[in-house]
């Protein structure tokens, strides 16, 4: 296989599967002992499961361990699940908490370096080189996006432009003046940059690489942003519970799956209903175990993200870490309307396949007397009719949602993470 030479840690990124498994086994034994010895909540989970650290010999033994999910993090808020003394914690980030008690992730200095290592690999995998200008638009704050992109850019030797979100006109001015080559952001902000450039009849000639995450990312949307900004678009993966953006991995220049950093995480795909493992190629829920974190290494964490393993072979980029399919959706984001199960991402994929449809849309779930119905509002160029939208969605979903077609620019905009699904109770 040919190698593109874009490595941050070539030894780790191209290690043999035999060496990766040996390292996983070593790190799993150490991590299990660490959490068992240092945290009473973890120790009780293990004891209730009837497993001790000495029972874990190899990576295959991970299935003996108890599973965890967001509940244990919320119940232990703010940091009762931490596995290090308070004086070793140097930073924290957390989830938005929009669905309940927020999830807090503490970091030791080692954890920040591990995060930076994973993110730096992602930057280099995208083709970014030391000295390249990287414009970081995710929020710098409790949300992990901005700081994760920053830590990784520093580790990769990039020229950091830490703009944060908003003030799109200034973002474009800085990108032009400072010759931004790498742009990072949430998916919807990439769309917003594209729209404003079109309004201003401007281009960004130095921009070549876009790294986007934090939202569902259909292939149609990737293509739209790629064509609209004339860049190579990458789908980055990570979450608060894994340690932040980029910790789990990203797609490479082949764009045929997301490489997962197996020296840092053990990955399993399980049946969401039974918890049993599924075969490679079969869709299920992603579960990960952190292998190289100190403050709060999650053990067999159920992400609710749906995906599948698509390859364990060496990639054309030279990396040997397994690849998963782009996330289809979240198990808890599934919508059920008129007996049909579907994900918001399926609606996006369908809408963007209609010529003349814009990038902004709303999915409104209306509850009437306990029965759900759905409306899909879209923006479109003149000539696109509601009948065209309804027909395409019926072919894709099996039923005809109602909705309206608005001129481009008439639906609300967000310069941060976009809200696509709205719930409305009608009396």
Asked whether residue 96 carries a pLDDT value surpassing 80, the answer given is no
> Considering the entire predicted model, what is its pTM?
0.84
Using one digit for the tens of pLDDT, what is the confidence trace for 240-257? 999 999 999 999 999 999
CATH 3.40.50.12780 maps onto the chain at 1-331
Q: What is the mean pLDDT of residues 306-335?
A: 92
pLDDT at 416: 65
Q: Are 308 and 297 in contact (CB under 8 A)?
A: no
Homologous superfamily assigned to 1-331: ANL, N-terminal domain (3.40.50.12780)
Token pair listed for 180? 């931004």
Q: How far apart (Å, rounded) are the C-alpha atoms in residues 129 and 181?
A: 10
Q: Are 299 and 35 in contact (CB under 8 A)?
A: yes
Using one digit for the tens of pLDDT, what is the confidence trace for 2-44? 445 699 999 999 999 999 999 999 999 999 999 999 999 999 9
Give residues with Cβ within 8 angstroms of 419, minimum separation 6.
Answer: none
| Strand, helix or coil for residue 118 | helix
- DSSP for residue 235: E
CA 231 distance to own-chain centroid: 20
Task: For the domain made up of 334-426, give the CATH fold.
Answer: GMP Synthetase; Chain A, domain 3 (3.30.300)
Asked whether residue 1 carries a pLDDT value surpassing 80, the answer given is no
Q: How far apart (Å, rounded) are the C-alpha atoms in residues 361 and 267?
A: 33
Token pair listed for 169? 């006109």
Residue 78: asked if its preceding bond is cis (omega within 30°), the reply is: yes
Q: How far apart (Å, rounded) are the C-alpha atoms in residues 317 and 311?
A: 13
CATH 3.30.300.30 maps onto the chain at 334-426
Q: CB burial class (10 A; 0-12, 13-18, 19+) of residue 339?
A: exposed
More confident residue, 214 or 165: 165
pLDDT at 339: 65
- DSSP for residue 68: B
Give residues with Cβ within 8 angstroms of 60, minimum separation 6.
Answer: none
């Amino acid at each position: 296989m040919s190698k593109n030479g874009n490595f941050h840690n070539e030894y780790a990124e191209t290690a043999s599967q035999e060496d990766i498994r040996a390292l996983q086994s070593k790190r799993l034994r150490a991590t299990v002992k660490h959490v068992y010895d240092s945290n009473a909540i973890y120790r009780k989970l293990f004891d209730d499961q009837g497993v001790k650290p000495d029972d874990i010999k190899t990576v295959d033994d991970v299935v003996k361990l108890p599973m965890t999910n967001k509940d244990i993090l919320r119940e232990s808020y703010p940091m009762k699940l931490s596995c290090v003394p308070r004086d070793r914690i140097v930073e924290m980030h957390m989830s938005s908490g929009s669905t309940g008690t927020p999830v807090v992730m503490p970091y030791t200095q080692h954890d920040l370096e591990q995060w930076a290592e994973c993110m730096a690999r992602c930057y280099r995998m995208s083709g970014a080189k030391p000295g390249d200008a990287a414009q970081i638009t995710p929020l710098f704050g409790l949300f992990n996006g901005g700081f994760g992109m920053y830590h990784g850019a520093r580790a990769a030797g990039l020229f950091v432009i830490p703009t944060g979100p908003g003030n799109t006109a200034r973002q474009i001015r800085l990108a032009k003046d400072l010759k931004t080559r790498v742009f990072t952001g949430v998916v919807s902000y990439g769309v917003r940059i594209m729209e404003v450039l079109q309004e201003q009849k401007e281009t960004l000639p130095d921009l070549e690489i876009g790294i986007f995450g934090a939202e569902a990312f259909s292939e149609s949307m990737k293509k739209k942003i790629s064509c609209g900004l004339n860049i190579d678009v990458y789908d980055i993966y990570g979450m608060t519970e894994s340690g932040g953006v980029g910790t789990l991995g990203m797609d490479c220049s082949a764009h045929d799956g997301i490489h997962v950093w197996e020296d840092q995480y053990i990955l399993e795909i399980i049946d969401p209903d039974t918890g049993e493992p599924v075969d490679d190629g079969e869709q299920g829920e992603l579960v990960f175990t952190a292998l190289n974190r100190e403050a709060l290494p999650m053990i067999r964490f159920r992400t609710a993200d749906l995906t599948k393993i698509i390859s364990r072979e060496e990639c054309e980029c030279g990396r040997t870490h397994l690849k998963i399919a782009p996330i289809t959706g979240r198990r808890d984001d599934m919508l059920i309307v008129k007996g049909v199960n579907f994900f918001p991402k399926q609606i996006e994929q369908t809408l963007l396949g209609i010529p003349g449809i814009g990038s902004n849309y709303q999915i409104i779930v209306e509850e009437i007397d306990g029965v759900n119905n759905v409306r899909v509002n879209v923006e479109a160029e003149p000539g696109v009719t509601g009948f065209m939208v309804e027909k395409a969605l019926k072919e894709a979903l099996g039923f005809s949602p109602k909705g309206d077609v608005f001129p481009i620019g008439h639906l609300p905009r967000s310069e941060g993470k976009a809200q696509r699904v709205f719930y409305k109770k009608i009396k």
